[in-house]
Amino acid sequence: MTDKAISPLRLRMIEDMEVRGFTACTQRGYLAAVRNFTAFLGRSPDQGDQEDLRRFQHHMRASGASAANMNNAVSALRFFFGVSLGRGDAAVGMTTVRQPQRLPVILSPEEVARLLDHAPGLKSRAALSLAYGAGLRASEVVSLKVSDIDSQRKVIRVEQGKGRKDRYAMLSDDLLDLLRDWWRAGREKGVMLPGGWLFPGQNPVNAMTTRQLSRIFHGAKDAAGIDKRVSLHTLRHCFATHLLEQKVDIRVIQVLLGHAKLNTTAHYSRVDSRTLKAVKSPLELLAAKKAKEKAS
């Protein structure tokens, strides 16, 4: 297929996504899905029909694609056919796939403390502490500016988080002290520009990237001797779970995390160790019964 054949379609789809305010990340994912469908089809994607889409979805499954990738492709192709082409083929030819429900791996408070202690420097420790201490996503941490830290009200302003929503996150005294230490150190190094990023990259004009922050996390995890399969996002999971274990109301946690639905936050109740500890195992009851019988 030639660029001449695809370019007008690609441009139209990009314009349709821009009109609807899709993020750059979503746009890249949608375009990649249409590109993969085009390669499978062997001709211009607008020449495909619902049977081609059905075959493409089966091809993805046979190739070992994850449920998340398959569902992303469904969303992208439904948009391309339904919006950009004004056709309903994808709505008929493709179906969403049920994703397996997995519980997040949670670090104990002691493990989190050990990980933060092994962060390579003040800047790294402050960034990772924000992810855990305020429950921020990686993209939210690196997007913060110095002006987003409201020390008077003890809150952090998160602008245009997931779902393009603004919200306020909590700011504890300990976290504020750590951020102040980093701000002073950054000023001395000349990397804190007026109105600039809280965590500048190598060039202070640009912010640290999520990839850089992820590398910092994994380096600290390895240095701390933590062998659990965790990622940077685990710190957000730990924030929610540890608050729940402290008996913080789940509706408060919902607000702090910026979840639109309580059901999303309620997911963490399944990893609340406090709930599990409160239940006596039948084995424990059996042992107690035997001990009582011996005593009598």
Catalytic residues: 137, 162, 233, 236, 259, 268
**Mapping DSSP to helix (H, G, I), strand (E, B) and coil, where does residue 149 land?**
strand
CA pair distance 30, 79, nearest whole angstrom: 8
**25-50 as b/e: b if 16+ CB within 10 A:** ebeebbbebbebbbebbeeebbebeb
Non-local CB neighbours of 137 within 8 Å, separated by 6+ positions: 131, 161, 162, 233, 236
Give the residue carrying structure tokens 């245009």: 160
- Concatenated DSSP letters for 148-172? GEETTTTEEEEEEETTTEEEEEE--
Q: Is the Cβ–Cβ distance between 203 and 217 less than 8 Å?
A: no
Task: Count other Cβ atoms within 10 Å, centred on residue 108.
Answer: 14
Closest CA to 53 of 3, 88, 26, 15: 88
R_g of the chain, CA atoms, integer Å: 24
* CA–CA dist 32, 26 (Å, integer): 10
Residue 158's contacts (CB-CB under 8 Å, 6 or more residues apart) are: 136, 140, 144, 148, 166, 167, 168, 169, 258
Chain CA centroid to CA 178, Å: 24
CB 91 within 8 A of CB 82: yes
